[in-house]
A = this chain, B = another copy of it.
Amino acid sequence: MTDQPETGATPPEAGGSYPVSRRNRVRVDKRAVYDRDTVHAILDSGLVAHVGIVEDGRPVVIPMIYARDGETLYLHGARTTRLMRVFREPAPVCVTVTHVDGIVAARSAFHSSMNYRSVVVHGSGTVIEDEEGRTRAMTLLTDHLIPGRWDELRAPFDTELKQTAVVAVEIEAASAKVRAGGPVEDEADYGTQAWGGVIPVVTALGQPLDDGRLVEGVEVPPSIRRLLSGR
């Protein structure tokens, strides 16, 4: 889970993959994926990104709602937050999205691990100033969590748009790491009385709970019904 890009650039890969460089190269190659479709799929199915910035020379990692549009990620927060102040000028940012799929219970502590799919994006973040861009980003951020929700809601007020800061992150480098399957043991451990396998970790949506303030007759909207039925 902790493998890191290596020193030393390698030539970019061709076609539908992110170029592999010092910045995004994954050390354990068997788990590395640079294919854009895989990277996009992991990003698109996450709920929360962990966003890293540098502040006064120190790392800061904050969970944020995000959305993807091609090779751009959008992040948003209140206009007054420190994170948003960092991005008044383009600033380096790392956006990481992780799905945990299982606890790998090996026959030894050393080989115990996690199954997961993660993406690390390196880029540059900038606050979007124009209203059109901000509205588009808000649309994508809303629909990332609940596709189709934006069209069911009233248009945002001008005051709401003004209070919302949106940061666009251009993806400059990206890599995915995927671990799946059972433990990989020392051969001798297979003959022992120890148990080896995987405990699946599942993230699921529950049935929607309204807030008790619905106007009479209002039902769960189509966007949420579709989300729950997986369509």
The answer to whether A81 and B4 touch across the interface, beta carbons within 8 angstroms, is yes
Cβ < 8 Å to B, chain A residues 51-106: 51-54, 57-65, 75-78, 80-84, 92-96, 98, 100, 103, 105
With contact pairs A51-B61, A156-B109, A218-B193 given, residues A81 and B3 touching in the complex (Cβ less than 8 Å): yes
Instruction: List 17 interface pairs A-B (beta carbons < 8 Å), by A numbering.
Output: A1-B65, A3-B81, A27-B82, A48-B98, A52-B59, A59-B93, A61-B95, A63-B116, A103-B145, A105-B208, A108-B154, A109-B138, A195-B218, A197-B211, A199-B206, A201-B206, A202-B205
The answer to whether B207 and A195 touch across the interface, beta carbons within 8 angstroms, is no
The answer to whether A201 and B203 touch across the interface, beta carbons within 8 angstroms, is yes
Q: Give the total of A residues in contact with B, Cβ under 8 Å.
A: 108
A195, B208: Cα distance in complex, Å: 10
A215, B191: Cα distance in complex, Å: 6
Residues of B within 8 A of A19 (CB): none
Residue of B138, B205, B211, B215 touching A183 (CB-CB under 8 A): B211
Residue of B59, B83, B194 touching A154 (CB-CB under 8 A): B194
A69, B95: Cα distance in complex, Å: 28
Residues of B within 8 A of A122 (CB): 58, 60
A45 within 8 A of B: no
Residues of B within 8 A of A27 (CB): 78, 80-82
A10 within 8 A of B: no
With contact pairs A2-B81, A154-B108 given, residues A62 and B160 touching in the complex (Cβ less than 8 Å): no
This protein's copies in its complex: 2
A204, B103: Cα distance in complex, Å: 11
Q: Which residue of B lies closest to A81 (CB)?
A: B4
A73, B110: Cα distance in complex, Å: 19
A37 within 8 A of B: no
Binary per-residue interface labels of chain A (2-37) against chain B in the complex, 1 for a CB within 8 Å, 0 otherwise: 111111000000000000000100011000000000
A149 within 8 A of B: yes
